[in-house]
């Protein structure tokens, strides 16, 4: 194969691209973390913490920490989908933006409860 033929068949490869499996795994993890935040906020804190003797004001503090982790995971997942140029990057971004909006509202409510 000559140099010209090699140049014609050569395709550019993005050094930061990753396989679809890794990108989709990141998506699953970020949505899972957001779900954990909701479970903590709406199930564990209201129903379980009174039984184990935790103070009522501990819920918003835990919600802020888990919310910050969930937001970071969602942003990380969006970036991975776009860097990998995944075929579902736009719908997944829309889903993540919706989740980020809900997390922002929940964090606002947690801050209001603490203040």
State residue 108's pLDDT score: 94
The tens place of each residue's pLDDT in the chain, 115 residues long, gives 544 454 455 444 444 455 567 777 777 887 888 788 778 777 777 777 666 666 666 778 888 888 898 898 889 888 888 888 888 889 989 998 998 998 899 899 989 988 8
Tell me the Cα Rg of the chain.
21
CA distance 25 to 41: 24
CA distance 19 to 81: 10
Domain ranges of the chain: 20-114
State residue 97's pLDDT score: 94
CA 36 vs CA 46, 88, 90, 102: distances in Å: 14, 24, 24, 14
State residue 44's pLDDT score: 75
């Amino acid at each position: 194969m000559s140099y010209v033929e090699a140049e014609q068949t050569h395709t550019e490869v993005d050094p930061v691209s990753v396989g679809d499996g890794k990108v989709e795994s990141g998506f699953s993890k970020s949505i899972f973390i957001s779900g954990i935040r909701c479970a903590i906020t709406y199930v564990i804190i209201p129903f379980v913490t009174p039984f184990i003797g935790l103070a009522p004001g501990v819920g918003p503090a835990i919600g802020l920490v888990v919310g910050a982790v969930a937001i970071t995971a969602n942003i990380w997942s969006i970036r991975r989908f776009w860097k990998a140029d995944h075929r579902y990057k736009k719908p997944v971004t829309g889903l993540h933006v919706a989740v980020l909006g809900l997390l922002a509202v929940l964090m606002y409510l947690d801050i209001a409860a603490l203040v």
